[in-house]
Structure 1
């Protein structure tokens, strides 16, 4: 794969996720390359559905460009077809899909993980609504949990128990992202908070971004942050199963994202005055803590996953996750 594509992948993660970009530098070079390529593909697909190119042209399965205009559903269909072709080993003209093909086939990433990720974009395109926290977790699974599954595959983890922990980390990340971005999302007409919670708080869905609801909204954000905690705890156990450098990177990413949630909760009603994040000094401290966690994880077996956590769909021996039937188009 060309150095230009690697440079693009590096820029993509630095712009799209400064928090994960810092942790990604801790991977060994081969793992880091694959992680960046996968992240760039995820970002590319998101941008294509939104009608943004990020430097790459969007080709349909026949190699034509721009035929579907700005129809998100048509663009999503193109992405699904390109993904299937990538897994079939066909030549990929699109650089993002050439990178994805290399990573997916080399690391045996299950096709259903990639297609499940695209299904998350479909939920946005179709205007899915989220009645319960299980519905919100279903969305989190598609847009972030399966990314954790694909990342774990890159690190050589294919055991279902380890994949559960990787998915849990993605769920925790996305719950944190939702809490941080509630107001920004609302201004774009999107809401991932459970409708039940909004009713309990007395916040009409079309008024989420209004300043007069900030105190009530802060309580809901804190509730989301608290809901993420058992998933962060579960994910910490999975670090034991990763190679040391990967364990360091993932432990650090866990620390940084968790700290963002802590900051959102600490700010209360002022959480959305400016985007919550971590300082450079704090990141360095959290990376050091990640190193300690990775080293200490070398001893002892992984404890059982706590009962009551949301079960990922398609797990061997498990049925569909609860709430799967409730998230529905608006």
Structure 2
């Protein structure tokens, strides 16, 4: 079976199941990537569903065996001798796992995805099962690659015919998004006895774990938060260099995804750094505005190039 022979419509229920997962767990990503051409959007949904399944194995089930099973299934998919054999691995039934893996198998075939980033994500998720606070910013960057930069590499073949040429900015975008998650979820992570802010950085700002729970009551907390936010924002900016090599029909969606995620930082600032007891979100109307902003930014870039 070649990529041209695959009819994603024949597997609509599988992709719809994956889309329901991204709509439930990441309205930011769904808002952006739903603007993609139909089959590319479906492929993104399948990749997201895989990532969400791995995340649930850790945060919901605390189950290393489930992660190991996912790695084993991924290896079986990789070692299958043909595209037909890959699809034959999953009988056509309504089992939720089969729906995700069948959609993912179709996506690997259609877009020739690289398997390694998928294995890397599972490695990163396993680190959270035996969580240790990062010591340095370099440690945090490494962790961020495994749990988020890897996702950027997963998606590249869907979004670009020049995937091999823009791996570094794609990893930077993933890291920027992960650092944004960390700054948004400080309170939630504290309640799970996790601190993702590096020990050396906290020491530099004279903050202890107990201090973190006071949040924006401390100027030093705000100073540390802004220090980390500026790192994230610089990574967003650096990632935008890949946009000219993203396929024309994907640029607006990817730019919108980046802008919507980056906006989380602005929302937190507007809400006076309330991240201990509140999870800040980007309002729906603002997301729609950012879709238009993405169009405008890309149009301006095209004018400058021409």
TM-score band by shorter chain is 0.7 to 0.9
Instruction: Call closer, same or farther: CA 1:98–1:252 in 2, change over 3 Å.
Output: same
Q: CA deviation at 1:162?
A: 1.3
8 Å CA contact retained: 2:182, 2:196: yes
8 Å CA contact retained: 1:145, 1:169: yes
Q: Deviations over 1:234-280 (max 9, x none)?
A: 11121111122310001111111111112223433434442222222
State the match for 2:153 in structure 1: 149
Q: CA deviation at 1:29?
A: 0.7
Q: Deviations over 1:123-164 (max 9, x none)?
A: 101213300111111111111111011111112344443121
Picking from 120, 132, 135, the partner of 1:131 is: 135
* 1:4 and 2:8 matched: no
State the match for 1:85 in structure 2: 76
Structure 1: give runs of 5+ residues left out of the alignment: 53-69, 302-330
8 Å CA contact retained: 2:156, 2:163: no
CA distance in 2, matches of 1:288, 1:14: 21
* 1:162 and 2:178 matched: no
State the match for 2:202 in structure 1: 198
Judging by fraction of residues, say which structure has more helix: 2
Instruction: Call closer, same or farther: CA 1:33–1:274 in 2, change over 3 Å.
Output: same
Q: Deviations over 1:73-96 (max 9, x none)?
A: 222211111111111234135322
Instruction: Call closer, same or farther: CA 1:280–1:212 in 2, change over 3 Å.
Output: closer
8 Å CA contact retained: 2:180, 2:262: yes
* 1:15 and 2:24 matched: yes
Where do residues 176-325 of structure 1 align in structure 2 (5 Å cutoff)?
176-205=180-209, 208-210=212-214, 214-298=218-302
Secondary structure class of the residue paired with 1:129: coil
Instruction: Call closer, same or farther: CA 1:214–1:245 in 2, change over 3 Å.
Output: farther
Q: CA deviation at 1:193?
A: 0.5
Q: CA deviation at 1:42?
A: 0.8
Instruction: Call closer, same or farther: CA 1:4–1:214 in 2, change over 3 Å.
Output: farther
Structure 2: give runs of 5+ residues left out of the alignment: 1-9, 81-85, 92-97
CA distance in 1, matches of 2:253, 2:71: 30
Q: CA deviation at 1:211?
A: 5.3
Name the count of aligned residue pairs. 283
* 1:45 and 2:54 matched: yes
Return 235-244 or 202-211, whichever deviates more: 202-211
Q: Deviations over 1:105-131 (max 9, x none)?
A: 322221211111111101101213300
State the match for 1:76 in structure 2: 67
CA distance in 2, matches of 1:212, 1:250: 32
